[in-house]
Structure formats: structure tokens, C-alpha cells
Amino acid sequence: MQTAILAVTLAVLTIIGFYMGRSRSVSVAAGNLRRLHSLPGYYGYYVALWCGIPAFAVLATWLSLETTIVETLVIASLPETTQALPESRLNLLINDIRNLASGNIVSREVDPELQAAAERYQSLRQTGFLAAAAVTLSLAIAGLAWGRRLIGPGLKARNQVETVVRVFLIVSSTIAILTTIGIVLSLLFEAIRFFALVSPLEFLFGLKWSPQTALRADQVGSSGLFGAIPLFSGTLLISFIAMCVAGPAGLLSAVYMSEYAHPRMRAVAKPILEILAGIPTVVYGFFAALTVAPFFRNTGAGVGLEISSESALAAGVVMGIMIIPFVSSISDDVITAVPQAMREGSYGLGATRSETIRQVIIPAALPGIVGGFLLAMSRAIGETMIVVMAAGLAANLTVNPFEAVTTVTVQIVTLLIGDQEFDSAKTLAAFALGLMLFCVTLCLNVIALHVVNKYREQYE
Amino acid sequence: MSNAVATDVQVAPNMNGSPRNASEAVAKSLKRRYAAEKRFRAYGLVAIIFAALCLAILLVTIVGKGYSAFTQTMIRLDITLYPQDIDPDGTRDPDVLSTANYQKLVKQAVQDLFPEVTNRRERRHLQEIISPGATYHIRDAVLEDTSLIGQRLVIEVPVSDDLDQFNKGFISGDVPEVERRVSDKQIAWFNRLKDRGVIISTFNTTLFTAGDSREPELAGIWGAVVGSFFTMAVTLLLSFPLAVGAAVYLEEFAPKNRWTDLIEVNINNLAAVPSIVFGLLGLAVFINFFGLPRSAPVVGGMVLALMTLPTIIIAARAALKAVPPSIREGAFGIGASPIQVVTHHVLPLAMPGILTGTIIGMAQALGETAPLLMIGMVAFIVDIPGGPLDPSTVLPVQIYLWSDAPERAFEERASAAIMVLLGFLIMMNAIAVVLRKRFERRW
């Protein structure tokens, strides 16, 4: 709340800076605006930038470092014995101090020591905020005065403002790269820590997955096995089922829409597919878990088949429905891109429409279609909510679609929901799985995009 | 494909013979070829009908499961608000009033409905027909109007979620007693109450005003809606300027070199990275490295902003590309600087397209769940968040949480929440369509 007020104050100062700069430039020009290098508005922006950028930069730095600094100081003030505690217990303690300071419920007895620490925490935060407020406000006012002082007829305000705008544009275009680097580094960093605990060979080729790390050495059934093969096979099984649904349905509907459908039919069918694409995955998950899975189980029971209520089939079919529009829109694109001359040549030889489609158009569009399938496959592998809600948790190594299997994404979610210490193999395993997921989908995407682009060039 | 190939093979040898033979062979095969044509066409139609049918089934089951969540079964209780129970000293101090033992009053009122029930176990069983939230209803009524103290109050309070489900017909009285969540006794009591006319069905306002709760009849989506709002606000504030900046740079200023190629490849790949990976990024970088609070809409908004950036950048670039070069040349011709050309002419003309892309990106972000699970927005949160730093959850995550809950009443509420979510999405997409229709220009 305090921070919000500070930010708004700074914003107001910045706006004031704009008007001050503008009026200042007009008065410097002494009524003859042609004496100015730039339009008055640019002087306004100039002062506003001087006022706003340093102040907001300092504020952002403070906000991102505040917790770390305050906590370090609080820990430093604790008794030596407490400081020597292992990291996880220290974190719990800090959590309690924070809760106590903000008046929440605390999980342990409140002793005077804790009380003192909480008060210290609170006072440090307050001091920190006051210092930050003082620094940012004075920076803003100083920037305002400085910017205003610089204004003169010779100041190239427009060029300077435009330089700042250009820098902003360049910085925002590099966000994409920074994100990728961030993803790779964060996954890699945690995965390396995981592989220090569990050998990569065991992870990649192990056949047993039961990540509950043993609490005691002699504990039964919780040996903490990290063999990811059952997860990969489960993921592939569900994705395969999904592609069995989405592949034919998506491709055939794309063929129908681009080659046969009346424009009026197209006007109805296209939005239907777009709606399917726009439905959130959690809704599909709900549908899979509470409608499709029971339906399959009951039907199976009716014909004497035992179908698990968390069967791979239910998750796979619903995921297939979800990616139909994906397959169909890419296939539609590539089919429409096949030159008309090829169709006409085929008709001229006496082929029927379906013969043309099957023997001319689809072979011609095949690379594009394959690319689309690969993209859809990567979508299916990375899909999370449907499998979290409808697939199982037990890592069964099976290809039977009626049994419950688990997937990479399900395990990432289950490993990371709930308690978290950042040094147990359990949580780190999620990052190793995430790294695998990222690499596999990235490869599929790169190959698919390459294939699709190659194909496009061929007919352009 | 094999059909057609077979046709060719059959026709081919006859080609060497007389033309009459060939045309006969063709005429003979025609029927089969046309049948194949028809079949193929039917396959396509079936595929589309299959997709449409799936959509229809999906929507129908959700509406069918969820429409009943909009009503709530209430019971009209006759409660005497004894002053000695609520405010023995007569101070009317709000602290005293809010901590008074309303449960005792409710218990008494329920007991008075069936004075003939005297057995202790049965009495306790009888109390279970009322929602534990009834006490809050009475407390709120008292806090609002202290003059009620000492009087008789007729108030409508929710019945327990199981009886609510029974009243809506989802729990059948025909199944054996052990297999259903309401007992024969409760059903008998309930039916007698119904005959007395104190059971009523009202619009479920709790669903739209309350936060989450362990009791289905007290749970609402408002907390999640507010959380979604804060998350979306952060997402929009971050992703819109950054995406427009990136698109403008790449489309208008960037030199064609390896660096910009790299950026483009990156954007395309990010658009296809599984959303859960963005959640891992948020967890590792924003929460563990920068120490931002868990479960907060700020972090959720930042993660979703990174996720929607590629979508908006791609749409914005398409919109910028559609502005004809003559506009730029005209502006340059009258002496505008490159930035002025963009900010004064190109951007305003491209804005409808950019906004359409932004809305579609935001709609995607609004329905996204997986990355938010990673950053702890799945916590059970009762309070309505007051700002983007408060712990909160979002609408899709609320749906996920409720559909996992064992009570059937939660399933019904999850369906209702889905309807609300789909309503928002339809609204956003409709705005995007209108924007595109109204402001789209063709040069």
C-alpha cells in the first residue's frame, strides 16, 4: 500500500515534470517558438524522463532487493546458535518472524526472542521504506530541476527523447532472448544440482519412478527412485492417443473445409474449431475427469473391460479434441498454399476431386502437414491441465490405454505443489523433468518450423 | 488411396486395345470412383461434425452440471436473539457482538423446529441439516442492525450442501442409505420442513460475493475473480508496452542481421514452449532468486506476461506490416523523424490490429492454469485479495481446486465457475471481433 502511494506520487511528479518542461521551453523561446530546436512537447518529455527514469529505477531495485536485505539483517541479529541452524529450519523461522510482524498466525510458541526479531524485522522494513521514499523522491525532484535547467533553445530535446525511445524499443525486443536465457539457465542450474544427487543415467534409463525420498534409511517403499522411463512412456502413450484422435479429424476437416465446403458451411465450421481452440485447458481437464473418464469406465464395465477411472484413454481422447483445431488450422494453411495449377492439372486428366486430393494435393502438402503434426505433438507433450486432472499419479510402465499412466507434466506439478525445500532431490527432479520437456518440445518445434518454412518457400 | 491406384492399374492395359474398350473400362470404373468420392467427402463432413459434437457435448455437460449452482436451498429460521447470549453487558461493542456465541442460538432455533427430537445423538444429527455458515449470517445481520438484539428474527440461512444437493435432485432417496450422504432421518425432516413451507430456493448470491471455503454452500468465486483481475492487470501493464516496443523495433527499425534473426527465432520458439515451463521459470527466477512473494498476482502476472508476449508481438507485427509504405513515405516527405513517423502515423493506424492481438493474448492468459500452479497460486485462500501483492488464486485455478474436491456440490460450483470464465472469454473475443470488424482498414 505504502509502495503504491509512493509510486503514484512519483508518477504525479513525472507528469508535473512534463508540464513544467513544456512551459519552460515556451518561456525560454520568449513567444517565438521557431527559436526552439524541438516542439515544446519534447521538452516536456525530456524533463519527465529526467524526473521519472532514475526515481523508478531506484524504486524497482529497492523492491527487488528489499526482502533479501532485510532478512539478512534480521538473521545477523539473531543469536549465534540460531544462525547455525540448517537452512531449511532457518527459513521456517524467518517465515514465522514475517508472519508475526504482519500479525498473522504463527506456527510456534512466541518467545521474547522471536518477538524482538519480528519487531526488528518490522522496523527495518519501515526504515528501508522511508529511506527508499526519501531517495526516490529527492531523485525525482532533483531530476526535475536538472532537466528543467538544461532547457534552452539549443537543447536537442527531440533527439534525446527519441534516443530514449529507441533504447526502450531495443530493450523490449531483447526480452524474448532474455526469457529464453532465463528458462535455460534456471532449468539447467537446478537440473545440474539434481544430477549431482541422482546420476543422469539412472534418470534417463531407470524403469522405476517413486520420488518420495526416504525420510529414514530403513523406510519401506520410499526409496526415492528417479527412473523417468515410465513418465516418458506415459507421456508418449497419451500424446499418441491424442494424435490418433486429432490427426485424422483435424486433417479431414481441413481438407473438407478447403476443398469441398460451401463458403456458408465454412463460415459455420471455422468458428466452431476456433471456439474449441479457445477453451481453457482446465475446462477440458474438468470435462475429461468428470465426464469422459466415468463414461469410458462405465462403458468398459458394460462390455466386460476393466478401464481405470484415470485411464490414459480418457486423457488422450480429450487432449485429442483439444488439438483438433491446431492440426486443422495448420493443415488448412498448407493445403490452401498448394498452387491452383496443380489441382487444375489433375482435374484436366480426369481425376475426381478426392483422387486429386489424395494423389496430388496431400503429397504436395505433405511436408507442411507433417510439420503441423509435429507442432501438435509438441503441444500434446507439454499439455498439463488435462493430464493433471484426468491422468493418474502412479508411474506404470505400460502401453495399455485402459490403465492409468502418469506424464512428465503431471509429475512436475505434483512435485512442486505443496511444501518446497530447494535442496531435496524431489523438487529438483521437477526441474530436470522440465529441462527434458523444454528440450524435446524445442527440438520438435525447430524441426517443425523448419519443415513448414521450407515447404512454404517451395511454392512461393 | 489404394482404390484410386487400383483403378489406374486396371485401366492401363486396356489403353493398348481399342478406344471403345478403354472408355468402357472407364465407364465401368466410374461408378466405383464416384462412390469413393462420396465416401471421402463424407469422411470430411464426419470429421467436422465430430468436432462440433465434441464442443456441443462439452458445453451441454458443463451447463447441465452447473446451472443448479446458481440457486441455493435456504431454510427460514425463527431465531430469538437473547441479549444475554449476544451482549450480556449491553455495551453494543462491535468486538463483543462479533465474537458472541451465535451457534448456540442457531442450535436452539433448529432444535425448536423439531421439539420431539430428544435423543442426544439424533439432536446432533438434526443440527447437520444446517450449514455451519448460518452463524455468520446471523452475526452479520446483528452487526448491521443492533436493534435486533432481544427480538425475534426470521432469517433465511443455507442448508447443508448435502441436503441442497438432495433438494436439487442429485441425491436420490431410492439408493440404499449407506451409499448416500444424507440419511433417511434427514430426508424425513427435510420433507416435513418442506411441507411447512420454510424451505425455499433462492438465487445463490454467495457464489458471486464470497471467497473460497471448505463448505460448498459458503464458497464463492469472487476472490478468484478479483485475483484474476489483478493478475490480468499486471500482465497487461507489462506485456502490452513491451510487445508493442518489440514489434515496432523488429518491424520498423531493426537492421536485418544475425541478431534480429536470433530474436525472431526466439519469439517463434517461445510461442510454442509449454506453459508449465514458464511456471518453472517464474518459480526459479521471480520467487527463489528475487524473493517475490509466493501466490501473489504480481508474480502470476509477470509469468503470464512473458507467456503472452510472443502472441502479442506476432499479432502486432502483422498489424504493422499491413500499414502501407506510402503512409511512412508521406510522413517522411513532410520532415518527420523515424520515431515521429511511427508514433504519429504507423502506430495509430495499426492500433486496432494490435489491440485485437492483445485481447486474444489476454484471453489466453485468463484461461491459463499450469504456470500459476507452479508459483503457488493454488493455495486455499478465503480472503478477497486487496492488492496485487496479497496471496490469491485465479478463476481457472479455482475451477481446478473445486473439481478435485470430493463433495458433489463443489463439482456443481466448478461448472458454474467454468460458465463464468467462458462468459468472460466470450466477451473478450467478441470485443476483439468487433474491433477487427469496425476498425479494420484495407488499403
pLDDT range class, residue A196, cuts 50, 70, 90: confident
**Diameter of chain B by CA atoms?**
118
Are A459 and A338 within 8 A, CB to CB? yes
What DSSP assignment string belongs to B85-153?
HH-TT----HHHHHHS-HHHHHHHHHHHH-TT---HHHHHHHHTTB-TTHHHHHHHHHHH-GGGTTSEE
Q: Would you say A276 and A325 are in contact if contact means Cβ atoms under 8 Å apart?
A: yes
Closest by Cβ to B280, choosing from A174, A180, A434: A434
C-alpha cell at A108: 510456534
Angle at B366 between CA B316 and CA A62, to 5 degrees: 80
Report the chain A residue with the minimal C-alpha distance to residue B416. A283
Which residue in this structure is represented by grid cell 443440527? B127
Q: Does domain B222-439 have CATH number 3.40.50.1220?
A: no
> In the sheet that B152-158 helps form, which strands lie side by side, from edge to edge?
B152-158, B71-80, B199-203
Residue B171 is predicted with a pLDDT of 80
pLDDT score, position B398: 92
**pLDDT tier, A380 (very low <50, low <70, confident <90, very high otherwise):** very high
Q: How far is B80 from chain A (nearest CA, A)?
A: 35
CA distances from B48 to A56, A249, A403 (A): 53, 7, 30
pLDDT digits (tens, 9 = 90+) for A74-100: 877 777 777 777 766 777 777 777 777
Mean pLDDT of the A31-53 span? 85
The alpha carbon of residue B302 is apart from the nearest alpha carbon of chain A, in Å, by: 11
Contacts 24+ apart (CB under 8 A), B166-171: B166/B190, B167/B73, B167/B199, B167/B201, B168/B68, B168/B71, B168/B73, B170/B68, B170/B408, B170/B412, B171/B408
Nearest residue in A to B419, CA atom: A283
Letter for the amino acid at B201? Answer: S
For B74, the 3-state DSSP assignment is: strand
Ranges A147-156, A168-177, B142-151: which has the least confidence: B142-151
The DSSP bridge partners found for residue B79 are B153
CA atoms of B291 and A68, how far apart (whole Å): 7
pLDDT band at A103 (very low <50, low <70, confident <90, very high): low
Task: Report residue B117: phi and psi, to 5°.
Answer: -80, 115
CB pair distance less than 8 Å for A172 and B243: yes
Closest CA to B33 of B4, B1, B2: B4
pLDDT in tens, B32-57: 888 989 999 999 999 999 999 999 99
- CA-based nearest distance A39→chain B, Å: 12
Mean pLDDT, residues A115-120 taken together:
80
The rounded Cα A225 to chain-centroid distance in angstroms is: 28
User: What number of other Cβ atoms are within 10 A of residue A409's Cβ?
Assistant: 28
Q: Which pLDDT value is given to residue A222?
A: 47
Confidence tier at B277 by pLDDT (50, 70, 90): very high
Q: Could you count the other beta carbons within 10 Å of the beta carbon of residue B69?
A: 24
Q: What cell does A341 get? A: 495449377
Alpha carbon of residue A355 to chain centroid:
44
Is A382 in Cβ contact with B276 (below 8 Å)?
yes
Cβ distance A377 to A244 under 8 Å? no
**Helix, coil or strand: residue B220:** coil
What is the crossing angle of helices A229-255 and A408-416, to 10°? Answer: 120
Tens digits of residue pLDDT in B105-149: 888 888 888 888 778 888 888 888 888 888 888 888 888 877 777
**Partner-chain residue, chosen from B61, B262, B339, that has the shortest CB–CB distance to A177:** B262
**Are the C-beta atoms of residues A144 and A44 closer than 8 Å to each other?**
no
| Residues above pLDDT 90, as percent of chain A | 23
Work out the pLDDT band at B14, boundaries 50, 70, 90. very low
Give the separation between CA B106 and CA B112, rounded to whole angstroms.
10
Q: What is the pLDDT of residues A334-374, one digit of tens each?
A: 888 888 899 999 999 988 888 999 999 988 888 889 988 99
Q: What is the CATH number of domain A225-459?
A: 1.10.3720.10
CA distances from B368 to A278, B303, B400, B424 (A): 11, 11, 11, 13
pLDDT at B13 over 60: no
Best mean pLDDT range from A195-204, B86-95, B251-260, B336-345: B336-345
The mean pLDDT of chain B is 85
**Candidate from B278, B280, B337 with C-beta closest to A431:** B280
Reported as type and span, the H/E element at residue B18 is none
Residue A136: how many other CB atoms lie within 10 Å: 23
Residue B230 pLDDT more than 90?
yes
Residues of chain A found within 8 Å of residue B280, distances taken between Cβ atoms: 183, 186-187, 412, 416, 430-431, 434
| Residue A383 DSSP symbol | -
Concatenated DSSP letters for B239-272? Answer: HHHHHHHHHHIIIII--SSHHHHHHHHHHHHHTT
| A178 sits in which H/E element | helix A157-197
Interface-testing mutation among A166, A171, A175, with chain B (most B C-beta atoms within 10 A): A175
Per DSSP, the three-state class of B353 is helix
Judge contact between B309 and A175, C-beta under 8 A.
Answer: yes
| Torsion sign over Cα A232, A235, A237, A243 | negative
Q: What is the mean pLDDT of residues A177-203?
A: 88
Beta bridge partners of B154: B78
Total beta-carbon pairs less than 8 A apart between chain A and chain B: 270
**What's the pLDDT tens digit per position in B373-417?**
888 888 888 888 887 888 888 999 999 999 888 888 888 899 999
Whether the CB of A421 is below 8 Å from some CB of chain B: the reply is: no
C-alpha to C-alpha distance for B415 and A340, rounded to whole angstroms? 47
Q: Decide: B342 and A208 in contact? Cβ < 8 Å.
A: no
pLDDT, average across residues A236-253: 93
Rounded distance between C-alpha atoms, residue B108 and residue B126, angstroms: 11
In 3-state terms, what secondary structure has residue A104?
A: coil
Contact indicator for B289, B295 with CB cutoff of 8 Å: no
Which residues from chain A sit within 8 angstroms of residue B263, using beta carbons? Answer: 173-174, 176-177
Mean pLDDT throughout B305-327? Answer: 92
Note the pLDDT tens digit of each residue in B151-205.
788 888 888 888 888 888 888 777 787 777 788 888 888 888 888 888 888 888 8
Torsion angle in degrees (nearest 10) through CA of A152, A156, A161, A165: 180
Q: Is A177 on the interface with B (CB under 8 A)?
A: yes
Q: Give the three cell numbers for residue A292.
A: 469422459
DSSP B203: E
Residue A219 has pLDDT above 60, yes or no: no
Taking 80 as the threshold, does the pLDDT of residue B221 lie above it? yes
Dihedral of the alpha carbons of A139, A140, A143, A147, in degrees to the nearest 10 = 180
Write the residue in B4, B39, B414 that is nearest to A286 by C-beta. B414
Chain A residues whose CB is inside 8 A of the B396 CB are 280, 282, 385
Say yes or no to pLDDT of A221 above 70. no
Find how far residue A370's CA is from the centre of its chain: 26
**Packing angle, helices A157-197 and B222-248, rounded to 10:** 120
Statement: residue B305 has pLDDT above 90: yes
Identify the burial level of A37 via C-beta atoms within 10 angstroms of its C-beta, where 0-12 means exposed, 13-18 middle and 19 or more buried: middle
Q: Is A400 helix (H, G, I), strand (E, B) or coil?
A: coil
Contacts with A417 from chain B: Cβ below 8 Å? 373, 378
Tell whether A172 is within 8 A of chain B (Cβ). Answer: yes
Whether residue A223 is predicted with pLDDT greater than 70 in this model: the reply is no
- pLDDT at residue B346, rounded to an integer: 92
CB contact under 8 A, A290 and B403: yes
Is B61's CB within 8 Å of A438's CB? no
For cell 526502450, the residue is A168
**Sign of the torsion angle spanned by Cα atoms A285, A289, A291, A296:** positive
In percent, the amount of chain A with pLDDT more than 70 equals 93
Residue B330: pLDDT band (50, 70, 90) is: very high
* pLDDT confidence band for A279 (50 / 70 / 90): very high
In the three-class reduction of DSSP (H, G, I as helix; E, B as strand; rest coil), residue B80 is classed as strand
B-contacting residues of A 438-457, CB under 8 Å?
438, 441-442, 445-446, 449
CA distance A215 to chain B (A): 24
Residues 6+ apart with CB under 8 A from B287: B293, B294, B299, B375, B376
User: In terms of C-beta density within 10 A (0-12 exposed, 13-18 middle, 19 or more buried), how is residue A398 classed?
Assistant: middle
Domain spans, chain B:
2-66, 70-211, 222-439
The residue behind cell 476456433 is A274
Q: Which pLDDT does position A381 carry in this prediction?
A: 92
Angle between the N-to-C axes of helices B19-66 and A263-278, in degrees from 0 to 180, rounded to the nearest 10: 40
Strand B199-203 and strand A225-226: the pairing is unpaired
Coarse DSSP helix, strand, coil percentages of chain A, rounded to the nearest 5 percent: 80, 0, 20
- Which 3 state secondary structure label does DSSP give B227? helix
Query: For residue range A392-440, what is the model confidence (pLDDT) as tens digits?
Result: 777 788 888 888 888 999 988 888 886 555 567 778 888 899 999 999 9
DSSP string computed for B384-401: PP-STTS----HHHHHHH
Q: Hey, is the C-beta of A248 within 8 angstroms of any chain B C-beta?
A: yes
Test the A interface: residue of B39, B250, B369 with most A CBs within 10 Å: B369
Q: Is B89 exposed, middle or buried (0-12, 13-18, 19+ CB in 10 A)?
A: exposed
* Length reported for chain A: 460
Domain boundaries, chain A: 2-155, 225-459
Quick check: B295 and B379 in contact, CB under 8 A?
yes
Arithmetic mean of pLDDT, B282-310: 88
Instruction: With CA atoms as reference, report the closest residue to A29 among A41, A19, A40.
Output: A40
A6 vs B contacts (CB less than 8 Å): none
Count the helices and strands in chain A (H runs, E runs): 18, 2
CA dihedral B109→B112→B114→B119, nearest 10 degrees, is 90
Distance from the Cα of B291 to chain A's closest Cα (Å) equals 6
